[in-house]
Amino acid sequence: MMHKTDAAIQLIRNALTAGIKAGYVLMDTWFTTEPMLKNILDTGIHAIGMVKQLQQRYTYNGRQYTQP
């Protein structure tokens, strides 16, 4: 069984092979992952997607921060 992200990449590649021209792929937070972005960029087109807000905290100069 193919993962949804793998299926999405395959659909993008099939569209490009069929002659459909695209400058970018727009996606929601569910698809905006490092492997997905890398695969899209490897096709030669840009990717636009919102990054998931994680609960990770970073310490800088003794203070805790989260990703905005």
CA distance 19 to 13: 10
pLDDT of 60 strictly over 70: yes
pLDDT at 59: 83
pLDDT at 68: 63
Across the range 24-46, mean pLDDT stands at 93
CA distance 68 to 54: 9
Q: What is the pLDDT of residues 40-58, one digit of tens each?
A: 999 999 999 987 777 777 7
Across the range 10-15, mean pLDDT stands at 96
pLDDT of 24 strictly over 90: yes
Report the half-sphere exposure of 62 (CA within 13 A, side-chain side). 0
Across the range 36-42, mean pLDDT stands at 95
